[in-house]
Amino acid sequence: MGLLIYGLPNFCFAIIAFPLALYVVPFYSEEIGLPLEEVGLALAASRVLDTITDPLIGEFSDRTRSRWGRRKPWVALGAPLFMLSAWMVFVPGDNASFHYLLIWSCLLYLGFTLADLPYRAWGAELTGDYAARSRVTAWREACGFAGQIAFVLVLLALQQQRPLALGTPLWFVAATVLLLLPPLLGMLLWRIPEAPVERLPTFAMDQWRGLALLLRNPAFLCVLSASLLFVSGLIVQASLHLLVMTHVVGGRELFPIMLLFENIVTLSAIPLWIKIADHLGKHRTLALAALWIGGWSLLLPLCGPGDAWLLFVLLVIRGAGFASILFLANSMAADVVDYDTVQSGRQRTGLFFAAWAMVTKLAIALGIVLGTLIPASFGFEPADASHSEAALDALMATYGWLPGALMTLGAAVLWRFPITHERQKQLRAEIAAQRCHPPKGDARSF
């Protein structure tokens, strides 16, 4: 029950992330009428701004000491801003401009970071066990996929009544978050304790030396590089799904059904990926999942007019690897923190997750820019009545071949990740042997 309570807020966080990746670009470019490149630049710029706020929030979260813990106050602080800005981005007025989208998307990502980054750091600290960490993150991501499935089921029900404008699912998402997130977060804050802060007796460390340790952490650099490649590849495709189904293969009405089946397959595959990770290790399982996604992505440009069902099948099969990308990467990030704790003597989970989130958001910005500007540079504009063959070829190559190459390169980077199961057990043993219990009142175990 504790893992479920911890994971349930991700039901709402994932609901926001889902349409933000899939619907916002076509909604603002087609229904609102903003140029495609302006939409891409506004969303990308808002993610780049996070590179400033993420490390600050991570560091402040690590240093926070309160009667409620060090993660909980930040989660509670970020939730209201997250909910307000989600409504403003997803339910804009008819005259929403580039600056409107830029400002409110910046605030949305700020609120998301304030709530989500300490939430994920909190989860990484719930257990020190190599395999159990995968189960913590698996429950969290499973709740996220469950939220996406629920979202798609409601879309399908609404679609039976009348054709849906792109703004309808965005309104539904914003309303769902406003309704569900407060009680889910309330249950989390009330029922799930934070682990005591881990400290080791070691040398005094100023900020510059701490930063140098972070940048010399080989496991950190490895997982960071792989995440940059994985996320940018996935976002390229996510931002182009609807445009490909509208302007190339047809069958746009199949999109909600495709999302439903893709998420069901993704959710169903989680136990399989956990078993594979128990045998092969988390990093090699993650690399195999990336190769699975990348391999099927290479086939997507073969789809042409009238191939909606072929595209449907390829996307659903490809989606079986999504869960591994999400929950195993988060679990590996917790192992990276163990290495740093031994080196620095401080449990800097918030800072590490901030750095990782910062790179992830840069990858999202990169994916949006690549997914919008490359087709646009070949003359593809969604609002145009017709498109040249070169423009459509560029769209499909960007949609399939570019993500396939990025996923393959990321798998190669990750294959020699240095923290295996055995190495992580050694790190936890070193932490246990050196641990100094914090002074009374320094941290509270709930």
Residue 223 and residue 218: Cα distance in Å, rounded? 9
| pLDDT > 70 fraction of the chain, expressed in percent and rounded | 92
Which pLDDT value is given to residue 210? 63
Question: What's residue 185's pLDDT?
Answer: 92
pLDDT-derived band at 386 (thresholds 50, 70, 90) equals: confident
What span, in angstroms and rounded, lies between the C-alpha atoms of 229 and 403? Answer: 9
Q: Does domain 2-434 fall into CATH 1.10.645.10? A: no
Over residues 159-189, the pLDDT tens digits come to 665 666 777 778 888 998 999 999 999 999 9
Express each pLDDT in 277-331 by its tens digit: 889 899 999 999 999 999 999 999 999 999 999 999 999 999 888 878 878 887 8
**Confidence (pLDDT) at 402:** 95
DSSP reduced 3-state for 346: strand
Burial 154-184 (b: 16+ CB within 10 A, else e): ebeeebeeeeeebbbbbebbbebbeebbeeb
Helices marked H in 91-129 — which ranges? 98-124
- The tokens for 431 are 């932490």
Tokens representing 155 are 């879309």
| pLDDT of the residue at 445 | 31
CB 121 within 8 A of CB 78: no
DSSP letters of 253-299? GGHHHHHHHHHHHHHHTHHHHHHHHHHH-HHHHHHHHHHHHHHHHTT
**Span 367-389, average pLDDT:** 85
CB atoms within 10 A of CB 209: 12
* CB 256 within 8 Å of CB 376: no
Percent of the chain's residues with pLDDT above 90: 28
Q: What pLDDT score does 441 carry?
A: 39
CB burial class (10 A; 0-12, 13-18, 19+) of residue 67? exposed
Answer whether residue 82 shows pLDDT above 60: yes
What pLDDT sits at residue 9? 92
Summarize pLDDT for 186-242 with one digit per residue, the tens. 999 998 888 777 666 555 555 556 667 777 788 888 988 998 999 999 999 988 888
Mean pLDDT of 133-150: 85
Mean predicted confidence (pLDDT) in 372-392: 85
Q: Does position 276 have pLDDT exceeding 80, yes or no? A: yes
pLDDT at 376: 86
The pLDDT, as a whole number, for residue 401 is 95
Sign of CA dihedral 301, 302, 308, 313: negative
- Check residue 199 and give its pLDDT: 64
Q: Chain-wide mean pLDDT for the chain? A: 84
For every residue of 370-402, DSSP letters joined together read: HHHHHHHHTT--TTSS---HHHHHHHHHHHHHH
Inter-residue contact 248 to 304 (CB < 8 Å): yes
Given a cut of 60, whether residue 113 has pLDDT beyond it is: yes
Q: Residue 53: pLDDT above 60?
A: yes
Least confident of 79-83, 106-110, 230-234, 382-386: 382-386
- Cβ distance 249 to 400 under 8 Å? no
Q: Where are the domains of the chain?
A: 2-434
> Average pLDDT of 438-444?
39
Query: Which pLDDT score is estimated for 211?
Result: 65
Residue matched to tokens 């996406």: 148
Q: pLDDT tens digit string along 395-427?
A: 999 999 999 999 999 999 998 888 988 888 898
Predicted TM-score (pTM) above 0.85: no
Residue 405 has phi, psi (to 5 degrees) of -65, -40
Q: What does the alpha-carbon distance between residue 46 and residue 356 come to, in Å, rounded to a whole number?
A: 17
pLDDT at 78: 93
